[in-house]
Structure 1
Amino acid sequence: MLSPEVLLTFFAASLLLGVAPGPDNIFVLAQSALYGVRAGLATTLGLVTGLCAHTTAVALGVAALLQTSPAAFAILKWAGAAYLLYLAWLSFRAGALSTHAPGGGKAAFPGYGALYRRGILMNVTNPKVSLFFLAFLPQFCDPQSGGVAGQVLMLGALFMLATILVFFSVAALGGRLSLWFNRSRRGQVLTHRAAGLVFAGLAAALLLTDS
């Protein structure tokens, strides 16, 4: 069992990492700006579910495969970039928002389930997250305190909690932007175009990542 001091230090570091600008919080901000705060919350839950997969991968040693196999890393990287480019395409071809979404003034709303799945795919297909966990989590593990795999799972759960706290705040900010942009059809179209650029930029950044 890890000491309370180690757990507190890890949680504080996780909060700081969550606040730092990165693909995931930008993704949450874009979704909540498009569809409102609850959409950002659904996306956050999807991202956190993806973190469960990465935490399990580190605990089982699967993440080491991505570090040692360029082919596995490249396949996952290209799959993630392709999905982000697909989201960019959807955003660029979207017009003004319809009245069929929750609240009567929201855009062609894909549904909270779809946003949840987007969060999962966005996270799971990013090999950088597994490699980050592989480098970050073991630093706080202590083999003399019990099984390392159990410690990794505990630290992963703490990291997810920190992520939820930070990203829920980001979603609230995005929800405020949504209320402002959705006042006019032009603002709605511009929001979609901006989201498309964000997704395309994230795809480009992922493709430029080396193993």
Structure 2
Amino acid sequence: MDMSVMLGFVVAVFLVSVVPGPDMLFVVANAAAGGRRTGVVAAAGMSTGLAVHSVAAALGLGALIQAAPQVLNGVRIAGAAFLLYLAYLTWRASGQEVTTTEETPQLPRRTLRRTYVMATLTNLANPKVILFYLAFVPQFITTGSGSWPATLQFLVLGAVFIMVGFPVDAGAALLAGTLTDRIFRAGRRIRRRLERVTAAIFAGLAVRLAADLR
């Protein structure tokens, strides 16, 4: 796998991860309700769900691309359309106010095991996570001579996604467990800027995708 592609993936994943989305908000809500350890366990559950998505994509879509490389073009076209849609939604959200009562609801205290299971199931059951994963990761899959098998690329990129995303979610949990709802009020301006950067990344990936079609 080309190291420049891997570096671009790491940067993109980091920027996507630091923007508060449904997964991070779930983690923060649990941390605010149950403390830092509960939040970190919720982050681990989210990463477990992502690991399952990675394996499923590798065994299904990865195997299909390996058998018929031209399928990647169809996946990329659909992915480009979805990424443009995400870019629009993310940019629009950057201009909206976020209130703690709406985004980080007070959750009842749960055992750590139940928190982990709930976080994993929340990630697995979210169709937007599945669509995002299938739209985002294939943009970094390479084909042709010298390329790794598509299945292996999916697994490696999925592992990198988790290695980058989990520390971000866990860090948010530690902060939220300490500062509770003040974290988002104090960081509203930063959040807006990060969301706009992320929207630009989504749009850029869609353009890059269209340029790579052949």
Alignment TM-score, normalising by the size of structure 1: 0.61
**Cα distance in 1 for residues equivalent to 2:177 and 2:12:** 26
Q: Any residues of structure 2 matched to 1:6-45 within 5 Å, and which? A: 6-45=5-44
Which amino acid in the other structure matches residue 52 of structure 1? A
Runs of 4 or more consecutive aligned structure 1 residues displaced over 4 Å after TM superposition: none
**Structure 1 SS opposite 2:20:** coil
Identity of aligned residues (%): 38
- For the pair 1:146 / 2:124, whether they are aligned, the reply is no
- For the pair 1:169 / 2:168, whether they are aligned, the reply is no
Alpha-carbon offset, residue 128 of structure 1:
1.2
- Across the aligned residues of Structure 1 and Structure 2, the Cα RMSD in angstroms comes to 2.5
After superposition, the Cα gap between the structure-2 partners of 1:127 and 1:179, relative to the gap in structure 1 and judged at 3 Å, is closer
Q: Which runs of 5+ in 1 are unaligned?
A: 68-87, 95-108, 181-211
Checking the alignment, whether the CA contact within 8 Å between 2:59 and 2:151 is kept in structure 1 is yes
Q: Any residues of structure 2 matched to 1:175-190 within 5 Å, and which? A: 175-178=177-180
- Corresponding residue of 1:5: 4
Alpha-carbon offset, residue 179 of structure 1:
11
After superposition, the Cα gap between the structure-2 partners of 1:62 and 1:120, relative to the gap in structure 1 and judged at 3 Å, is farther
Alpha-carbon offset, residue 61 of structure 1:
2.8
> What are the superposed Cα offsets for residues 7-37 of structure 1, whole Å, 9 maximum, x if unpaired?
1110110010001121000001100001111
- Corresponding residue of 2:207: none
Checking the alignment, whether the CA contact within 8 Å between 1:58 and 1:130 is kept in structure 2 is no
**Cα distance in 1 for residues equivalent to 2:19 and 2:180:** 22
- Corresponding residue of 2:123: 123
- Corresponding residue of 2:114: 114
**Cα distance in 2 for residues equivalent to 1:48 and 1:126:** 13
Alpha-carbon offset, residue 57 of structure 1:
2.0
Checking the alignment, whether the CA contact within 8 Å between 2:34 and 2:110 is kept in structure 1 is no
Alignment TM-score, normalising by the size of structure 2: 0.60
